[in-house]
């Protein structure tokens, strides 16, 4: 602290996998690091669907960011909302506090879902991006059964027990499989006037196969695996219309209040903050060192970017990409501050990708080597347990998984009266 | 099912300790039982303050009612809201479904807090009765520190880091002690611009001692125990005024948005449903067999009643009272249906009461025999672990407690943007 004015200030926006990796890579740097996030926690997004389907609690997959970073003596954590960025003045403007000057800026703001130009569809669908979304889905799913049990109206029961998932990527596949299992196993004997096994789960994908980022063999495995769980898979059927009563998929109208949207990607507003060139989905285009063209002091990593190296397609929106980019950018910044030669261009090291389909079934792709079924599920479970950031989460997730595996139960079947339930929507009973 | 019309129907309202005990006592009865509750879960209320202070997750202390009762083949669970009761027609009227006819009715609707005639105080205080309340307190407490860290306004920091708990019963003592510990241990090293140890926790009690239901020796123990945790205990100081800026306690004005109300008891509206005679706090007066005077087919148990036997004071609003009354009423109903002699009047068997003050400190009263300090805390922990209704909760609570005990950490430090944070109140920053 001899020359406080010479001390560099690095601002990182977003406490997801990318932002956290960048902050950790900067841990030993003699500089000030500020991490800004809208929430107070780092979320382990790959398990978010398990919160949405009542298998895990929010605290099992989310940890207070400042508690994770308490040993990073150079780091300040702010729970705050970025409003805009002034790249000429090098200032981050916040809605709720003073502006922050930066020497280096790392944008790791992630992505949202895109409605392909139909933003009005957002109103009648539920996405799954953060803990609130997950709790809203949980509320919606559990309350559908409670309401069906007591309403005494077969047509309403049919609507309530229909779930449509749009988007055949990993999240869509995981949600469809888990909701089907919840209905057929967990809830099975718990109701008197309805049979949860009559639940209809529809998974729609506009493309011609599920899990398009995986090898074809695994896509082909996923369809019968989901069908054996009772999921109705509709390939090559795009959504044409969504309204308060339901949706039109291909040529079919499905009447339901339960539409879960897991399709498309829109990068969070970093490109518009900078007035920078964006790819089709709003993602920031970056140079091979993850910096924004013309702004060597601004880096963008993870889902907010569209990273293209040479002829290959853009990198997928996966946690390992964000993590590796965060670590890489930390190294670049350290080298620049130290006046050393920066590392070569970022290269993604693909360690494999996995998606879970249901109890004891998954697909995994490790480059040329693929796994399906129980071995893939075992690999998935072990990898995800290990990746959880703290020991306490690992234990509670392990306990909950073991319990669920042996009993088919779900530990977090709670309705606390949050918004999200179909009962609170316009078509609901006015007395609720 | 040979003579369906002759089959008796018992309706139980409320899935707390009393209602659940009644339903379980009726499990083997050849009759139809319907359990109605506003929520879908049975809540282990004694640990609710731990959810409010981020030590446990909601799912650790709440379990889906219908999953707990899935083996009760004569029982239907309805998540529904009772609107009124017509005792002459023997009908329960619901806001959201058809009326229910009953042969026997068990009212176990519990209690709320009472504001001693100042219902307008509810607007600027937060009570702790259900999971939503607990999550709102958690949001308020955690967000106070986040906001204080970034606001850069010392006067606002002082207000945000002041917590006033009104009511020196077990809930007030537990909340005050735990919030003080959270500030001084868990959050201690996690902030840069504020020192959480400067948190002011004030516990106000209008009476002349804390824990008035406990022996005086234990009340006397609690004051220095809380003070050593940093709690400011104010005895004999009633709340005179509460507004949007703070409150007046005794002669002192305290400016804070964080007022937690744990004083007074108002029984839930069962008395007004029946047009029956109510005790001062709205509780139903009942006969020695827990039935409502003039309505032998209606029973009331737990906090909703004022049970007086002979010269002694009314029974306290404790889980064991509700449980024992529920079990007793189940036996009475079974005897009446079987045409057998009903059991004698209800007698409460006092198995002891406990309250926790902080890490490793508690008070316990087993009749004449009392415990304080670590032995009481150990007894408290073991008893509460055993009383949790399901094995999974016991395991996850055990994991969370062990982790918290060794690390001083809290596993559920999550802000998900629920209402309840001071930032969302009128004095907050309009941009939030």
What is A135-159 written as a DSSP string?
HHHHHHHHHHHHHHHHH--HHHHHH
Same domain, B93 and B219: no
- Please name the residue of chain B whose CA is at the shortest distance from the CA of residue A145: B79
**Residues A273 and A330 occupy one common structural domain:** yes
Which residue, among B150, B191, B432, would best test binding to A if mutated, counting the most A CBs under 10 Å from its CB?
B150
In this prediction, residues B213-227 reach a mean pLDDT of 94
Task: Give B177-212 pLDDT, tens digit per residue.
Answer: 999 999 999 998 899 999 999 999 999 999 999 999
**CB-based burial label for A419 (10 Å; 0-12, 13-18, 19+):** exposed
Express each pLDDT in A228-259 by its tens digit.
999 999 999 999 999 999 999 999 999 999 99
pLDDT in tens, A94-125: 887 889 999 999 999 999 888 988 999 999 99
Residue B92 has pLDDT above 50, yes or no: yes
pLDDT of residue B310: 60
Min Cα–Cα distance to chain A from B86, Å? 19
Diameter over CA atoms, chain B: 75
Contact A111, A304 (CB under 8 A): yes
Question: A123 and A232 share a domain?
Answer: yes
Query: How confident is the model over B354-374, as a mean pLDDT?
Result: 90
Give residue A88's pLDDT band: very low, low, confident or very high (50, 70, 90).
very high
Read off the pLDDT band of B312 (50, 70, 90): low
Q: Mean pLDDT over residues A326-342, rounded?
A: 95
CATH of the domain at B135: 3.50.50.100
| A71 assigned to some structural domain | no
List b or e across A292-316, with b for residues whose CB sees 16 or more CB atoms inside 10 angstroms.
beebebbbbbbbbbbbeeeeeeebe
| Domain assignment of residue B430, yes or no | no
Give which of A105, A76, A74 is closest to A89, Cα–Cα: A105
**Does residue B63 belong to the interface with chain A, where contact is any CB pair within 8 Å?**
yes
Query: Is residue A154 included in any domain, yes or no?
Result: yes
Q: Mark whether B105 and B124 lie in a shared domain.
A: no
| A79–B150 C-beta distance less than 8 A | yes
Residues A375 and A416 in one domain: yes
Q: Are A366 and A352 in contact (CB under 8 A)?
A: yes
Yes or no, beta carbons of B399 and A400 under 8 Å apart: no
Q: Is the pLDDT of residue A417 over 80?
A: no
Does A430 score more than 60 pLDDT? no
Question: Looking at chain B, which residue has its C-alpha nearest residue A64?
Answer: B413
Average confidence (pLDDT) over B248-266: 93
For residue B59, the chain A residues in CB contact (below 8 A) are: 57, 411-414
Q: Do A401 and A367 reside in the same domain of the chain?
A: yes
Which residues, listed in sequence order, are joined to residue A356 by a DSSP beta bridge? A362
Distance CA(B159)–CA(B149), nearest Å, equals 13
**Residue B227: is its pLDDT beyond 50?**
yes
* A145 in the same domain as A89: no
In a domain, B347, yes or no: no
Cα angle: A358, vertex A360, A362; to 5 degrees: 65
Q: What is the DSSP letter of B315?
A: P
Q: Is residue A314 part of a domain?
A: yes
Report the distance separating Cα B407 and Cα A122, nearest Å: 42
CATH of the domain at A26: 3.50.50.60
**Distance linking the first and last C-alpha atoms of chain B:** 60
The total domain count for chain A is 2
Rounded Cα distance, B121 and B249, in Å: 13
Point out the domain boundary residue: B305, B338, B371: B338
The pLDDT, as a whole number, for residue A310 is 60
**Of A338, A368, A389, which marks where a domain is finished?**
A338
Is residue B47 in some structural domain? no
Average pLDDT over residues B41-58: 93
Q: Between B60 and A267, whose confidence is greater? A: B60
Confidence of residue B311 (pLDDT cuts 50, 70, 90): low
Domain boundary among A309, A338, A367: A338
pLDDT tens, position by position, B387-428: 887 778 888 888 888 888 877 788 888 887 654 455 644 333
CB proximity A41 to B under 8 Å = yes
pLDDT tier at A148 (50, 70, 90 boundaries)?
very high
B391–A contact, CB cutoff 8 A = yes
Collapsing DSSP to helix, strand or coil, B350 comes out as coil
Per-residue pLDDT band at A279 (split at 50, 70, 90): confident
CA A102 – CA B315 distance, rounded (Å): 64
3-class secondary structure, A17: helix
| Same-domain pairing of A276 and A322 | yes
| Contact between B292 and B306 (Cβ < 8 Å) | no
Mean pLDDT over A17-43 rounds to 96
Strand arrangement of the beta sheet that strand B82-86 belongs to:
B82-86, B91-94, B100-101
Nearest by Cα to B171 from B264, B244, B250, B252 = B264
ipTM over the 0.90 cut-off: no
Which residues of chain A lie closer than 8 angstroms to B33, CB-CB?
none
List of chain A residues whose C-beta atoms are within 8 Å of the C-beta of residue B190: 64, 66-67, 70, 77
pLDDT recorded at residue A197: 94
Q: Are residues B104 and B31 in the same domain?
A: yes
Q: Quick check: is B123 in a domain?
A: yes
Looking from the CA of B184 toward its CB, the CA atoms found within 13 Å total 16
Give the residue among A140, A177, A186 at the shortest CA–CA distance from A161.
A140
Report the SS3 class of residue B221: helix
Residues A199 and A327 in one domain: no
Task: Using CB atoms, pick whichever of A60, A96, A417 lies closest to residue B429.
Answer: A96
Counting residues of chain B whose pLDDT is more than 90, the rounded percentage is 68
Minimum mean pLDDT range among A349-358, B20-29, B153-162, B417-426? B417-426
Domain that holds residue B26: 4-38+80-113+266-338
Closest chain B residue to A132, measured at CA: B416
| Domain contains B344 | no
| B330-367 as b/e: b if 16+ CB within 10 A | bbbbbebbeeeeeeeebebeeeebbbbbbbebbbbbee
Q: What are the pLDDT digits (tens) for A335-356? A: 999 999 989 999 999 888 999 9
**C-beta of residue B15 within 8 angstroms of C-beta of residue B35:** yes
DSSP secondary structure letter of residue B83: E
Question: For residue A325, what pLDDT band results from cuts at 50, 70 and 90?
Answer: very high
**Out of A76, A147, A190, whose CB is closest to B66?**
A190
Cβ contacts of B391 on chain A, cutoff 8 Å: 403
Both A251 and A274 in one domain: the answer is no
Q: Give the bridge partners for A239, in sequence order.
A: A249
Pair B141, B191: CB distance under 8 Å: no
Q: Which of A157-171, A278-292, A374-388 has the highest mean pLDDT?
A: A157-171
Name the closest residue on chain A to residue B72, using Cα atoms.
A190
**A228 and A271 together in one domain:** no
């Amino acid at each position: 602290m001899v020359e406080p004015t010479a001390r560099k200030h690095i601002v990182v926006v977003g406490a997801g996998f990318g932002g956290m990796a960048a902050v950790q890579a900067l841990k030993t740097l003699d500089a000030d690091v500020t991490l800004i996030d809208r929430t107070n926690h780092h979320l382990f997004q790959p398990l978010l669907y398990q919160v949405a389907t009542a298998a895990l609690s929010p605290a099992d997959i989310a940890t207070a960011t400042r508690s994770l970073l308490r040993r990073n003596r150079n780091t300040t954590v702010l729970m705050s909302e970025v409003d805009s960025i002034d790249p000429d003045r090098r200032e981050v403007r916040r809605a709720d506090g003073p502006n922050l000057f930066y020497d280096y800026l790392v944008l790791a703001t992630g992505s949202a879902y895109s409605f392909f130009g139909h933003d009005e569809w957002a109103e009648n669908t539920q996405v799954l991006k953060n803990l609130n979304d997950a709790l809203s889905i949980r509320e919606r799913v559990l309350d559908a059964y409670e309401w069906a049990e007591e309403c005494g109206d077969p047509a309403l029961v049919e609507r309530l027990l229909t779930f449509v998932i749009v988007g055949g990527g990993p999240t869509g596949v995981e949600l469809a499989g888990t909701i089907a299992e919840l209905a057929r196993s967990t809830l099975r004997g718990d109701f008197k006037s309805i049979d949860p096994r009559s639940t209809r789960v529809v998974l729609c994908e506009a493309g011609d196969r599920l899990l398009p980022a995986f090898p074809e063999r695994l896509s082909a495995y996923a369809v019968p695996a989901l069908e054996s769980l009772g999921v109705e898979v509709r390939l090559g059927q795009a959504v044409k219309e969504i309204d308060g009563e339901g949706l039109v998929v291909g040529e079919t109208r499905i009447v339901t209040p339960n539409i879960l949207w897991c399709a498309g990607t829109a990068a969070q507003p970093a490109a518009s903050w900078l007035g920078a060139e964006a790819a089709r989905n709003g993602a920031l285009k970056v140079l091979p060192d993850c910096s924004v063209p013309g702004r060597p002091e601004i880096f963008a990593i993870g889902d907010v970017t569209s990273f293209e190296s040479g002829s290959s397609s853009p990198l997928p929106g996966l946690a390992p990409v964000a993590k590796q980019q965060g670590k890489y950018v930390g190294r670049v910044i350290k080298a620049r501050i130290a006046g050393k030669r920066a590392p070569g261009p970022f290269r993604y090291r693909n360690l494999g990708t996995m998606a879970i389909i249901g109890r004891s079934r998954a697909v995994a792709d490790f480059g040329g080597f693929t796994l399906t079924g129980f071995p893939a599920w075992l690999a998935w479970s072990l990898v995800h347990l290990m990746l959880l950031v703290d020991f306490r989460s690992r234990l509670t997730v392990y306990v909950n998984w073991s319990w669920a595996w042996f009993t088919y139960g779900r530990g977090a079947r709670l309705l606390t009266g949050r918004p999200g339930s179909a009962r609170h929507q316009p078509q609901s009973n006015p007395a609720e």
